[in-house]
Structure 1
Amino acid sequence: MFPASIPSPPVEFSKFSIGPLTIHAYALCILVGIVLALWLTSRRMRARGGDSDQLWDIVIWAIPFGIVGGRLYHVLITDPGYYFGLGGRQSHWAEIPQLWLGGLGIMGAISLGIVGAWIGCRRTGVRLSAFIDAVAPGVLLAQAAGRWGNWFNQELFGAPTTLPWGLQIDPEHYNFPAGLPADTLFHPTFLYESLWNVLGVVVLLALDKKFKLRRGAMFCCYVIWYGIGRTFTESLRLDPAEIITIGPLSLRIHQWLAIGLVIFGSLALSYVLAKLRPEGKDSLFAEGREPAAVQASASAEKHKSPGVEKKSSSDDESQPLA
């Protein structure tokens, strides 16, 4: 029936129990993504003179804020009618805090996560612009892992397709579109976005290595990259979403927001490169908030230079006596 296709996991694979505890595969994918993001960000912060303690002091604020932001985006933007009983539908207020049922929006997670990161950066003395640049590739890597949760849940897939990498969906699953043949294959939008995000990690790291992007430029590139990919995948998805018409275009609300990300990221990047790019290397830390070890190293370099100049001057003066 499926000569060439991507199978979906059995429904029972979407969650399992350990004693009284129920573990959802979607949550595990998000957890794996967070671990990968922390690993990559830790490496990037150490390369800039930071350490893992500062990273933890920031993410302990950023992650909870991000989770709340992701949930609020899902509730308020993705499906407000379901939760608040709009349009004559039954309300489900009690499900709003039940994260284990699924429903997080990455755009909301990033937006409110930055607020949490700002609080953490203020407490640790790390520049927010330096932190979001350090974390940007890690966030893309986390998103790449998190998208596999949609595969386990058999959700957020795309339109029917005859391509050899079409995705199988259990015809008995509640997400299977009504009226379609049981052997219908669908675009694996989770896979498209996951691969796009992995490619984005490679591109961002290459750009940073070649051009030494600083002061928010890396994060702007992340916003642009993600917005482009999300605009494409949203054009394929079948899940219900509000359609907004602006001029001749009628697009899903998430698609409009993704286009907005591309525009915002492009304008911000232009401003950063034109107005804010500094001469020399950016410090990870705000002025006067550097750790003692960093201050000691900078002081040693400062006192070393005059000595070198003095020696050079002395050598020049001794040459006529030879």
Structure 2
Amino acid sequence: MYSILAVIDPVAFSLGPIDVRWYGVIIATGIIIAFLVGQREMVKRGLHPDFLTDLLIWAVPLAIVGARIYYVAFQWEHYKDHPAEIIAIWNGGIAIHGALIASVIVAYIFTKRRNTPFLKVADILAPSILIGQAVGRWGNFINQEAHGGEVSRNFLENLFLPDWIINQMYIDGSYYHPTFLYESLWSLVGIILLLLLRRVNLVRGEMFFFYAIWYSVGRFFIEGMRTDSLYVIGELRAAQVVSIVAILISAVFIIYRRVSLKNPPRYLDK
């Protein structure tokens, strides 16, 4: 017989009356690791050491705002009657696609003002974005959220998961698909592939477009398992629609640039 262990306390530690939650610690850890990896590569590619720091000062807070706006937009039927809750981000309710869209917009404007090619920066940061996503999903694990449909314990054991993961997926009397883990592992494989692609010296922009395609393919299928999806119309899941659009746009850009550009700049160009 197995025993159900206590779930992991979402509060990592307290500073007086302030509770510091594991979710925030994990997200911050992901950002720091992503920063260190991206910073090292940026310097190698000839950018100023402070470039990424200056970018993140704008991108991180605005990404959080974008994540919240995206979530509220797809839950507007609720928030239109409870407008005071729109800013209550501490109660949960952010979406990674909103954060990504906001980050891309901020990065585009920032690079234009710094007279630096946007696609050069996007290529360099593509592995870092996946690092942040791979680490950040473990915050969902701690919070017992963003999981899939109900499964048996035997199903989870057959995935060769350790007990501490299996027990954390025991929520309100049932076990659930650890979709956070599926997405984290998918992102990890993507990181490895992107780091290998650096050596291929792809056309500028293709590293970033590969990231968009890779993440979107995985997210499309994983989203279909989740029980907390945002919906566009009826049973049409917002994340799946965004994933399809991202795949199509990325594929078109790759083909267009390959066909139309003669001697295009490449990843290793400075």
Report the TM-score, using the length of structure 2 for normalisation.
0.86
Corresponding residue of 2:42 = 45
How far is the alpha carbon of 1:15 from its aligned partner?
5.3
Alpha carbon RMSD of aligned pairs, Å? 2.6
Corresponding residue of 1:206 = 196
Question: Are 1:223 and 2:219 an aligned pair?
Answer: no
How far is the alpha carbon of 1:262 from its aligned partner?
1.8
Corresponding residue of 1:148 = 138
1:141–1:198 Cα contact (<8 Å) kept: yes
Question: Are 1:187 and 2:183 an aligned pair?
Answer: no
Corresponding residue of 1:232 = 221
CA distance in 1, matches of 2:267, 2:10: 47
- 1:257 corresponds, among 219, 235, 242, to 242
Corresponding residue of 1:157 = 147
How far is the alpha carbon of 1:24 from its aligned partner?
2.1
1:161–1:187 Cα contact (<8 Å) kept: yes
1:59–1:120 Cα contact (<8 Å) kept: no
- 1:9 corresponds, among 7, 10, 33, to 7
CA 36–200 in structure 1, closer or farther in 2 if over 3 Å, else same: same
How far is the alpha carbon of 1:57 from its aligned partner?
1.9
- What runs of 5+ residues in structure 2 fail to find an aligned partner? none
Q: What CA deviation, in whole Å up to 9, does each residue of 1:1-42 have, x standing for no partner? A: 657x9x7833x3345421132212212221111111111111
Question: Are 1:115 and 2:105 an aligned pair?
Answer: yes
CA 214–103 in structure 1, closer or farther in 2 if over 3 Å, else same: farther
CA distance in 2, matches of 1:98, 1:284: 45
Q: Name whichever of 147-156 and 100-109 sits farther off.
A: 100-109
CA 263–24 in structure 1, closer or farther in 2 if over 3 Å, else same: same
Corresponding residue of 2:55 = 58
Q: What CA deviation, in whole Å up to 9, does each residue of 1:241-270 have, x standing for no partner? A: 32646xxxx542222222222222222222
CA 83–17 in structure 1, closer or farther in 2 if over 3 Å, else same: farther
SS in 1 for 2:150: coil
The sequence identity of aligned pairs, in percent, is: 35
Output the amino acid matched with 2:78.
Y
Output the amino acid matched with 1:149.
G
How far is the alpha carbon of 1:76 from its aligned partner?
0.9
2:66–2:99 Cα contact (<8 Å) kept: yes
CA distance in 2, matches of 1:66, 1:273: 31
Q: Name whichever of 145-154 and 51-60 sits farther off.
A: 51-60
Corresponding residue of 2:76 = 80
Question: Which one has the largest radius of gyration?
Answer: 1
1:234–1:255 Cα contact (<8 Å) kept: yes
- What runs of 5+ residues in structure 1 fail to find an aligned partner? 86-90, 177-181, 286-322
How far is the alpha carbon of 1:61 from its aligned partner?
2.0
CA 30–201 in structure 1, closer or farther in 2 if over 3 Å, else same: same
CA distance in 2, matches of 1:257, 1:282: 26
Q: Name whichever of 94-103 and 51-60 sits farther off.
A: 94-103
How far is the alpha carbon of 1:54 from its aligned partner?
1.4
CA distance in 2, matches of 1:277, 1:161: 53
CA 283–212 in structure 1, closer or farther in 2 if over 3 Å, else same: closer
Instruction: Figure out how many residues of one structure are paired with residues of the other and give that number.
Output: 261
CA distance in 2, matches of 1:15, 1:94: 28
2:169–2:177 Cα contact (<8 Å) kept: no
Question: Are 1:21 and 2:18 an aligned pair?
Answer: yes
CA 2–74 in structure 1, closer or farther in 2 if over 3 Å, else same: farther
1:130–1:215 Cα contact (<8 Å) kept: yes
Output the amino acid matched with 2:20.
I
Q: What CA deviation, in whole Å up to 9, does each residue of 1:89-112 have, x standing for no partner? A: xx2x22322333222211111111
CA distance in 2, matches of 1:151, 1:104: 15
SS in 1 for 2:10: helix
